[in-house]
Chains A and B, each alone.
Chain A
Amino acid sequence: MNVAIVKYNAGNICSVVNAVRRLGTEPLVTDSPEALMKADRVIFPGQGEASHTMTYLRQHKLDEVIRSLKQPVLGICIGMQLMCRHSEEGDTACLGIFDAEVKRFVPALRTDKVPQMGWNTISNTRSPLFKGFAPEEFVYFVHSYYVPLNADTAAQTHYIQPYSAALQRDNFYATQFHPEKSGMVGERILRNFMEI
Chain B
Amino acid sequence: MLAKRIIPCLDIKDGQTVKGTNFVNLRQAGDPVELGSAYSKQGADELVYLDITASHEGRKTFTELVGRIAAAINIPFTVGGGINELADVDRLLGAGADKVSINSAAIRRPELVDEIAGKFGSQVCVVAIDARETDGNWECYLNGGRVATGRNLFDWAREVCDRGAGEILFTSMNHDGVKCGFANEALARLADELTIPVIASGGAGEMAHFRDAFTDGKADAALAASVFHFGEIAIPELKHYLQAEGISVRI
Which A residues lie at the B interface, using CB under 8 A?
A: 11-12, 14-15, 18-19, 21-22, 47-49, 107, 110-111, 113-121, 138, 140, 142-143, 158-159, 178, 180-184, 186-187
Contacts and interface: CB of A to CB of B under 8 A. Distances in A.
Contact of B93 (A11, A111, A120): A11
A54 B167 CA distance: 27
Contacts of B195: 107, 113-114
30 contacts: A11-B121, A12-B93, A14-B94, A15-B98, A21-B71, A47-B120, A47-B121, A47-B123, A47-B124, A48-B121, A49-B121, A113-B195, A115-B123, A115-B166, A117-B166, A117-B197, A118-B2, A118-B197, A118-B221, A119-B5, A119-B250, A120-B2, A121-B1, A140-B75, A143-B123, A178-B76, A181-B75, A181-B76, A182-B74, A183-B40
A180 to B, nearest CB: 7
B8 to A, nearest CB: 14
A120 B3 contact: yes
A117 B167 contact: yes
Interface string B191-235: 110111100000000000000000000101100000000000000
B122, B192, B250 — which one has the most chain A CB atoms within 10 A of its CB?
Answer: B250
Contacts of B194: 113
A186 B75 CA distance: 9
A48 B194 CA distance: 23
B1, B124, B192, B221 — which one has the most chain A CB atoms within 10 A of its CB?
Answer: B1
A138 B197 CA distance: 19
B177 interface: no
Nearest to A19: B74
Given A114-B195, A182-B74, A119 B45 contact: yes
Given A138-B250, A180-B74, A11 B120 contact: yes
Contacts of B80: none
Given A115-B122, A117-B167, A118-B221, 16 more contacts: A14-B94, A14-B96, A15-B70, A15-B96, A18-B70, A18-B96, A21-B71, A113-B194, A113-B220, A115-B166, A117-B220, A119-B250, A140-B76, A143-B123, A178-B76, A181-B98
B1 A113 contact: no
A14 B70 CA distance: 8
Contacts of B40: 183
A28 B194 CA distance: 41
A48 B118 CA distance: 10
A158 B74 contact: no
Contact of B75 (A21, A115, A183): A183
Contact of A116 (B2, B5, B45): B2
Contacts of A158: 1
Nearest to A186: B74
